[in-house]
Amino acid sequence: MSLKTSAIAHLAVLLVGTPAAYVLARRRFPGRGLVLTLIELPLVLPPAVAGIALLAAFGRYQLLGGTLSALGITVGFTQLAVILAVAFVESPFYLRGAVAAFETVDGTLLDAARTLGAAPARVFFRIALPLAAGGLGAASALALARGLGEFGATIIFAGSLQGVTQTLPLAIYAQFEQDFDLALAIGALFVVLGAALLLFLKLVPGWTRSSSSSPFRFAPSRSS
């Protein structure tokens, strides 16, 4: 359950968050500071507040939930609720890191590519993404780790239904009073996973150093 919901949520965050972070890093527009503040807001919200906010928005008789329920789509206390909760809490970790990664890209390279006729999408995929790969990888790993460990928002918005919405953090909570050894074993699994992700963060800069070099190759000057 944890792997499935975290993978779907993380993929959604990457697909939506990466181009959004690129736009926020490259464009300066009125209200940009407010947008960044809203993105960072989940970082300072208690997980329980995030769960209540999601329940208020997507509950069966609430804002968006009522419309979705009329269409036959139930969100609360389903696997979809787990995915939304995980995506909500991990998205600021990825977006803020991705914005910082794209801001480190030399803007003159991107402008030069546009001047030479490259389409915006080509500039994004062929230049910006490779140059920001190290920072994007680190932000992605941190976001994934945060999503895997999500507890508060999930238990309020999705509940802890075994085999339906119970993730590993919820299983630890459920087993704490029933089988302490099992709860301890699941906790140890998270320790191993966290160590692996931290090791990944240490190795990412080395893996991406070669790909972070400029994609442009300037011919040596022939002038004396």
pLDDT at residue 201 in the model: 67
pLDDT at residue 204 in the model: 61
Residue range 100-138, pLDDT digits in tens: 999 999 999 999 999 999 999 999 999 999 999 989 988
Q: State yes or no: pLDDT of 220 exceeds 50.
A: no
Q: What is the mean pLDDT of residues 76-103?
A: 94
Residues in the chain: 224
Mean of all residue pLDDT scores within the chain: 85
In 10 A of CB 77, how many CB atoms? 18
Paired tokens of 197: 């992700």
Residues 6+ apart with CB under 8 A from 114: 120, 123
d(CA 160, CA 170): 6
pLDDT at residue 67 in the model: 80
pTM (predicted TM-score):
0.84
Q: What is the mean pLDDT of residues 179-200?
A: 84
What crossing angle do the helices spanning 180-208 and 133-148 adopt, rounded to 10°? 170
d(CA 224, CA 4): 62
Q: State yes or no: pLDDT of 88 exceeds 50.
A: yes
Q: With contact defined as beta carbons under 8 Å apart, do 154 and 141 qualify? A: no
Residues 6+ apart with CB under 8 A from 58: 64, 65, 68, 75, 76, 81, 84, 157
Paired tokens of 130: 């490779």
How many helices and strands, by DSSP H and E, does the chain display?
12, 0
Residue 90, SS3 per DSSP? helix
Domains of the chain: 2-208 (1.10.3720.10)
Residue 152, SS3 per DSSP? helix
